[in-house]
């Protein structure tokens, strides 16, 4: 569906040439939700703007649905852009227009007859859950409702691709989750290819099938979300994964526990996929002559299955502890002794 080949974007600044996107090669499959994550300045916003030619590549190619975007004439590019919807961090709504009029705007530009426009707008209002708000103005809406208008507007022309530029960064956690659920629903109902950029691993974890990690204009790691969670290779990726699997409060709690003199052996277990559903701790207690105390744990769901970490305190003879660790590894669960 989307193919990026040796893609480069440079900007000339007073301080010299800046390479925002540096030799990126990437393929995104039709119908998948693909996440691009990175810190500010990584180049991810520039990359997503290159997909619909809001930025022109310095070199390389952008191919979407068989069309090389940066080789199209102006007329053909305008037509190709109608197959690409985009939603923004700060909504970019027309404040003097109602919800219906905002959603209708792309159809007006396209020259769609009014009766057909009105039918399409009502259909989209139902799809994004804004029934009864069609006559409201953006100033009368919550942040989540504004983003729903932005999503409906982006879908007006029945695009094949939906680009999301930090679409949930301006929203509170609960509203963020509702918007992410809406994007998953749209992806399933319409078979839409969704590309989103974010600096939050929670967003990637919740809805993406695959992810690419950007740093200094380059993609430093990519893959199936569950595999990236399981085996993060780059330090930056490990930091992002830690946002979800070891939140700050977990780190603090474990640090305090390790300061206790009689804490004994502390193991960190990492579960991926079906292993997260096994009664591992129960089996350890029944099988081995040890006592087990659960210190802290969290299981998260990804689009590809569950992922989680568990910190446990195990008390017993050293030989028995070795048997426990061997057993855990036999169950395809990662284990690390973090104390002593």
Residues 43 and 163 in one domain: yes
Q: What is the DSSP letter of 243?
A: H
Residues 199 and 289 in one domain: no
Q: Are 179 and 2 in contact (CB under 8 A)?
A: no
Residues 217 and 315 in one domain: no
Residues 290 and 195 in one domain: no
Residues 168 and 267 in one domain: no
What is the spatial distance between Cα 51 and Cα 70, in angstroms, rounded to a whole number? 9
Residues 204 and 228 in one domain: yes
* Alpha-carbon separation of residue 269 from 189, 191, 249, 252 (angstroms): 37, 36, 18, 18
Residues 263 and 280 in one domain: yes
Residues 208 and 90 in one domain: yes
CATH number at residue 316: 3.30.70.260
Closest CA to 334 of 272, 291, 245: 272
Q: What's the domain count of the chain?
A: 2
pLDDT for 246: 61
Residues 161 and 252 in one domain: no
Kindly provide the residue ranges of all beta strands, DSSP E only, lying in 183-261, ordered along the sequence.
Answer: 193-198, 210-215, 218-224
Domain that holds residue 49: 2-243
Q: Of the residues 195, 226, 243, which one is the last residue of a structural domain?
A: 243
CATH number at residue 115: 3.40.50.300
Residues 184 and 251 in one domain: no
pLDDT for 34: 96
pLDDT for 60: 94
Residues 252 and 230 in one domain: no
Residue 165 phi/psi, 5-degree rounding, is -100, 95
What is the spatial distance between Cα 248 and Cα 243, in angstroms, rounded to a whole number? 8
For 234-291, write each residue's pLDDT tens digit: 888 888 887 766 655 555 656 665 565 566 688 888 877 666 667 888 889 999 898 8
- Which residues, at least 6 apart from 25, have a Cβ–Cβ distance to it below 8 Å? 4, 5, 6, 7, 219
Residues 261 and 218 in one domain: no
Q: From first to last of its 340 residues, what are the pLDDT tens digits of the chain?
A: 899 999 999 999 888 899 999 999 999 999 999 999 999 889 999 999 999 999 999 999 999 988 999 999 999 998 898 899 999 888 899 999 999 999 999 999 989 999 999 999 999 999 999 999 999 999 999 999 999 999 999 999 999 999 999 888 888 989 999 999 999 999 999 999 999 999 988 899 889 999 999 999 999 999 998 888 878 888 888 888 877 666 555 556 566 655 655 666 888 888 776 666 678 888 899 998 988 888 777 777 777 777 777 888 888 888 889 999 999 888 888 888 877 7
């Amino acid at each position: 569906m989307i193919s990026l080949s040796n893609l480069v974007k440079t900007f000339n600044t007073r301080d010299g040439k800046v390479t925002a996107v540096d030799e990126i090669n990437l393929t995104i499959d039709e119908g998948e939700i693909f996440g691009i994550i990175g810190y500010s300045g990584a180049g991810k916003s520039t990359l997503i703007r290159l997909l619909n030619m809001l930025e022109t590549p310095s070199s390389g190619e952008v191919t979407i649905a068989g069309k090389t975007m940066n080789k199209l004439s102006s007329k053909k590019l305008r037509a190709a852009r109608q197959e690409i919807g985009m939603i923004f961090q700060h909504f970019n709504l027309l404040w003097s227009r109602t919800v219906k009029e905002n959603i209708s705007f792309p159809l007006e530009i396209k020259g769609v007859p009014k009766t057909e426009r009105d039918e399409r707008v009502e259909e989209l209002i139902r799809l994004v859950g804004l029934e009864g708000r069609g006559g409201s103005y953006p100033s009368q809406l919550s942040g989540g409702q504004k983003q729903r208008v932005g999503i409906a507007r982006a879908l007006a022309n029945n695009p094949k691709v939906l680009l999301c530029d930090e679409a949930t960064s301006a929203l509170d956690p609960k509203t963020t989750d509702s918007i992410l659920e809406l994007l998953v629903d749209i992806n399933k109902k319409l078979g839409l290819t969704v590309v989103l950029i974010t600096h939050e691993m929670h967003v990637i974890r919740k809805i993406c099938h695959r992810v690419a990690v950007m740093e200094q204009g380059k993609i430093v790691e990519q893959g199936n979300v569950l595999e990236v969670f399981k085996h993060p290779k780059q330090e930056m990726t490990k930091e992002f994964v830690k946002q979800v699997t070891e939140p700050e409060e977990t780190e603090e709690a474990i640090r305090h526990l390790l300061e206790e003199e009689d804490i004994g052996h502390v193991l960190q277990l990492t579960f991926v996929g079906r292993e997260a559903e096994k009664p591992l701790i129960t089996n350890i207690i029944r099988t081995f002559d040890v006592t087990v105390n659960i210190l802290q744990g969290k299981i998260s769901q990804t689009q590809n299955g569950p992922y989680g970490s568990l910190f446990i305190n195990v008390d017993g003879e050293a030989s028995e502890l070795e048997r426990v660790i061997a057993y855990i590894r036999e169950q395809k669960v990662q284990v690390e002794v973090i104390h002593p």
